[in-house]
A and B are shown apart, each in its own frame.
Chain A
Amino acid sequence: MIRIPTLLLLSAGICISSQAQASTETPPAARHAKAKAKTAWVHVASKHNGSGVRLAYSVPSMQPGRTSTVQLQFSGVQGDDARVEWRAPEGASVTSAVAGSSTGVALPRGQVTTLTLDVTPAADGMAYLDVFTTQNGRGSAQSVPLKVGSGKVFLKREGTLQTMPSGEAVISLPSSPK
């Protein structure tokens, strides 16, 4: 991982920086998976056919009711129409001082953009900050995990989990009238 940060702009809560970097992220299906040196940035896998904008994030451990700083970094911006929108986790407060928008900004072509967001989670557990990027008419959705307190993951479940006499586990979904 090469990192040569060069601060270009600091504007009312949004940091826009430029840097050269090597890839550390490969989707799970990738064939080569050698470990890279750990950094503060977590690089997020990209969906095939998606926006092509690369997302990395840096998130500290968080506590309910306390404001923490979350950094989002975007690279791979090759179009003039690239944009990012974000959505706060349920019950959480997310603020930025980005001029003109509190939920999204345009991403400048050819630059690495770093956004700094102030996040105040409401409750203990794992929360997710959703990040939507668009470019060249395509889009991607990615979630940034926010470990709040215990960071416990609360899973939802559809239907009823059953164990059959054979030992097989099934999830029984109810048939419904139209």
Chain B
Amino acid sequence: MSLVASLAACGGGGGDSTPAPAPAPAPGPAPGPAPAPGTALTISGTATFASVPPGAGNTGLNYAGAVDKPIRGATAQLIDAGNTVLATTTTDASGNYGFSLATSQAVTVRVRAEIKRTGSANGDRDFTIRDNTSGDAVYVLDSAAFTPTTNTTQNLRAASGWNGTSYTGTRAAGPFAILDVVYDAQAKIATAAPTVNLPMLKLFWSINNRPVSPFNATTGAITTSFFTSAGGSRALYILGTANTDTDEYDTHVVAHEFGHYIQSAVSRDDSPGGSHGSGDRLDLRLAFSEGWGNGWSGIALNDPRYVDSFGTNQSQSFSINVNLPATSTDRGAYSETASQYLIYSSSQTFGFTPVYGALTRFPSSPAYTTLYNFADALKVTSPTSVTAITSLWATQSIVASDAFGSGETNDGGVPTSLPVYKTLSASPTTYCLTGVTDARSDGNKLGEYMYVRFTASGARVLMLSKVSATYATPTTTDPDFVLLRSDGVSVNASSSVADSETLNATLPTGTHAIAFQDYNLPKNQGSCFAFTVN
């Protein structure tokens, strides 16, 4: 083996948010001065990708405005003719890399769609962009093979594949456009938590990834762009089918999903998930989770304009300004728009560090992950801003004194939604759900879940049983609940047993909560259940 050593990535200017323009890449290696006899050859260069911005208004992607941006923080490798890795380094913030080679031989420079480091004082990272339709293979950008005899500049460029009217070339830039969002996002986290270790995330993108249901990763049927932690491994699937919906250049879509990853990684997310639309009165946990995704995308990318393109030639799009408050009819802790505005505004006003700190206080909280809980935590991480936080939340018609929403007066038109948490003072007590806010029967709207707190410890039996229902079809109710213990640990109780749900639980000392629903509840209907703790 003739390699002497790999060099640290070459220096260069360019910050995280405003990268310096990369030098024009050359199609092949450019020979430099001959090294002195016995001196290693230097192979260096810059890696870039074609970045396509959104157009003005709702005109989709602006291919004419594409610019080359550096591939930052990616693993770069020097590979010999037998595909053996001779040296590894990391591109810097300007996309620069450098290797040294003791003697001339045929080599290839490879830049992996990967940000990876272990044992670093700056925290571990393991992000890879993979093709779910090709055995989860990692994307890499390769130079042509070359045999340097002098110090050589070898620039690499990932092209978009767009020929002016359609995709005809290899869409090599796609994985690196996604990686660029990841670079910005993890760098933003590092400003608040410089040493935090982030768990592995696999990001799956393919030109075959279509918005098709049901989900089948190997055929590209991924339903939509989404984050999942199913099975204990975190993954993000991203659409890639041209002329239908492809998201590699929809940076806020990628950042939104990465926001769910972050909440999963350093916090807790109690959202029930499910479909939702603009202006919906949502379950409070869903409103926070999706508002976090949107608000975070503006924070991570330093751009409040969320754009999502789609359609023939990616020529359609819509945009959301997360720096705008909710309209007067959409204000409340149940509003995704209010959530995204408050989260983004909090970062702008109080700084990202306390926002991140507030998020990380969720895991041990006995309150569900809502805007109430977030405000309460933010007042801890930004203690000089308590009055300002209260005032900011009030602009969105959210008035509460603690993480449980005590004192809230905005019921969103659903009287049973207040108080936000009911208190079980005697077993059994009957509570009623309503589907009045759920025009699409999504099962995740305000009033379709109820939060009940109770104090108990030791081995207990928690039971919900049907008292009444306003509907006859289906013929039975299906109550489910999530127990949130006083120590922040949650336990699902979601069997399909008709008209009741039971959980045997061992409870630590303190006050716990359940969030319960009727899985069978039709829209505009209601059902009531008795909650018992024995």
Report which A residues bind B (CB closer than 8 A): 2, 20-23, 25-32, 34, 42-52, 54, 75-76, 78, 87, 126, 128, 130, 132, 135-145, 153, 155-159, 161-162, 164-165, 168-178
Contacts and interface: CB of A to CB of B under 8 A. Distances in A.
Contact of A176 (B159, B241, B523): B159
Contact of B207 (A158, A170, A177): A158
B180 interface: no
A141 to B, nearest CB: 4
Interface residues of B, number: 100
Most A-side CB within 10 Å, residue of B172, B221, B521: B172
Given A23-B275, A171-B137, A175-B141, A44 B441 contact: no
24 contacts: A21-B441, A22-B520, A23-B442, A25-B275, A32-B492, A34-B494, A46-B277, A47-B308, A48-B290, A49-B308, A54-B440, A145-B221, A155-B219, A157-B131, A161-B135, A161-B137, A164-B83, A165-B82, A170-B140, A171-B131, A173-B142, A174-B142, A175-B144, A178-B68
Given A76-B440, A141-B311, A161-B134, A49 B221 contact: no
Interface centre among B137, B207, B225, B522 (most CB of A within 10 A): B137
Contact of A23 (B58, B210, B441): B441
Contact of B134 (A26, A42, A75, A171): A171
B213 A171 contact: no
Nearest to B311: A132
Contacts of A132: 310-311, 316
Contacts of B159: 176, 178
B223 A159 contact: no
Contacts of B308: 47, 49-50, 139
A139 B225 contact: no
B171 interface: yes
A130 B311 CA distance: 9
A143 B210 contact: yes
Contacts of A137: 58, 318
Interface string B166-197: 00011110110000000000000000000000
Contact of B210 (A2, A50, A128, A169): A128
Given A23-B443, A139-B310, A169-B137, A28 B279 contact: no
Interface string B469-482: 00001100000100
Nearest to B229: A29
Contacts of A2: 473-474, 522
A177 B439 contact: no
Contacts of A23: 274-275, 440-443
Contact of B158 (A142, A169, A175): A175
Given A2-B473, A48-B256, A87-B312, A168 B274 contact: no
Given A28-B228, A170-B137, A170-B139, A143 B212 contact: yes
Contact of A143 (B24, B25, B211): B211
B520 A31 contact: no
Given A23-B441, A173-B139, A29 B172 contact: no
Contacts of B227: 29
A120 B316 CA distance: 27
Given A22-B521, A29-B273, 15 more contacts: A23-B441, A27-B223, A27-B224, A27-B273, A30-B273, A32-B480, A34-B496, A48-B226, A128-B244, A138-B318, A158-B207, A169-B138, A173-B141, A173-B142, A178-B24
Contacts of A159: 139, 170, 172
Nearest to B293: A48
Given A48-B256, A155-B219, A178-B24, A173 B310 contact: no
Contact of A175 (B143, B243, B473): B143
Contacts of A171: 131, 134, 137-140
B140 A173 contact: yes
Interface of B: 24-27, 58, 68, 82-85, 110, 112, 131, 133-144, 155-159, 161, 169-172, 174-175, 207-208, 210-215, 219-221, 223-228, 230, 237, 241, 243-245, 256, 260, 271-280, 290, 293-294, 306, 308, 310-312, 316-318, 320, 439-443, 473-474, 480, 492, 494, 496, 519-523
Q: Which of A50, A51, A162, A164 has the most CB of B within 10 A?
A: A50
B15 to A, nearest CB: 23
Contacts of A52: 275-278, 280, 440
A168 B211 contact: no
Contacts of A27: 223-224, 226, 273-275
Given A2-B474, A43-B213, A87-B312, A31 B244 contact: no
Contacts of B311: 132, 139, 141
Nearest to B257: A48
A158 B172 contact: yes
Nearest to B225: A47
A24 to B, nearest CB: 9
A21 B435 CA distance: 12
